[in-house]
Structure 1
């Protein structure tokens, strides 16, 4: 009888030992699985950051543009406002305005302007700034729409709004209005004109006794070639 009891106790101890060993193996396997899952689990992304993109939020249809604090674009130098093209040097960006205009305005033009390009929004601010210093506040500018690549309706220059009127006249002229009805007529020199011919045209346009049209001045100075006559 004692032998049977001893055998039973041994078997129970063996069973319990096997059970404990099995439980230890299961626990160890669970720890390994948790470790591997943490090791290979993707890290959460930070708020506002996307893979391969900037951390800044993306907005559709929104464009931020930094503007220069000067009157015109930062890349456009000031306009050189001359009183006489005969004795003073001229270059692209130069404007000539007669200091003494006739009271009856019998001359065709009061001045001439040689812009650097055909981009009105880039060229007008510097010109208007220079004319404002000489003439006072400019109310509006009239331009030929066929001579420019853009057509802004108005420009804000030094806090002052200047209206821009457009007409497809094709006459290479510009009208500057000071106040309500004080108009100044300018000859427009094409940006691609050579310096010698541009100077000649500006000199002709600002003569007080000159009543020649813009086309005639540009043709006489060599900027515009004379149309060929009909073949005989």
Structure 2
């Protein structure tokens, strides 16, 4: 009798992030992020760890919408203090705005966590400006 070994599950889920290509004209949306929940304490460290180094140290994150669980006004991520904000009146309700002093601002479309793969992929591709 033989036993088939299952491959180990990843200890950290794969970051679901698609960014627009660098350069060119300025964009209103710089890409898309598909978190697994609306728990900002759990999701934000994974997002920040997966961003390009060129974006620098993110010091502020503003999420839009009442669905996000909001911890106190700041959190420590990889030895960096990140100030947290929530906006309920933003022009783009499903976004996260990331700021890095001296580097810039990036606006990402947030695909709701309960979105199916079939629906999420075209949204992410369109936000990144690439074919699905």
TM-score tier, shorter chain, comes to 0.7 to 0.9
1:193 aligns with 2:89: no
SS at match of 2:59: strand
The 1:100/1:122 distance shift into structure 2, 3 A limit, reads same
| 1:179 matched residue in structure 2 | 101
Number of residue pairs the alignment of both structures matches: 118
- Higher RCO structure (Cα 8 Å, ≥6 apart): 2
Following superposition, the deviation at residue 79 of structure 1 comes to 4.9
| 1:146 matched residue in structure 2 | 66
Greater helix percent: which structure?
Answer: 1
Counterparts of 1:144 and 1:193, CA distance in 2: 17
SS at match of 2:35: coil
Q: Which runs of 4+ in 1 moved over 3 A?
A: none
Unaligned 5+ runs, structure 2: 1-10
Could you say what the CA RMSD is over the residues aligned between the two structures, in angstroms?
A: 2.2
Contact 1:153–1:163 (8 Å) recurs in 2: yes
Following superposition, the deviation at residue 132 of structure 1 comes to 5.6
Counterparts of 1:145 and 1:138, CA distance in 2: 20
Instruction: State TM-score, norm by structure 2.
Output: 0.78
Instruction: State TM-score, norm by structure 1.
Output: 0.46
Following superposition, the deviation at residue 138 of structure 1 comes to 1.0
Counterparts of 2:129 and 2:77, CA distance in 1: 30
Following superposition, the deviation at residue 180 of structure 1 comes to 4.3
1:124 aligns with 2:44: yes
Larger Rg: 1
Greater strand percent: which structure?
Answer: 2
- Find 2:33's aligned residue among 102, 109, 113: 113
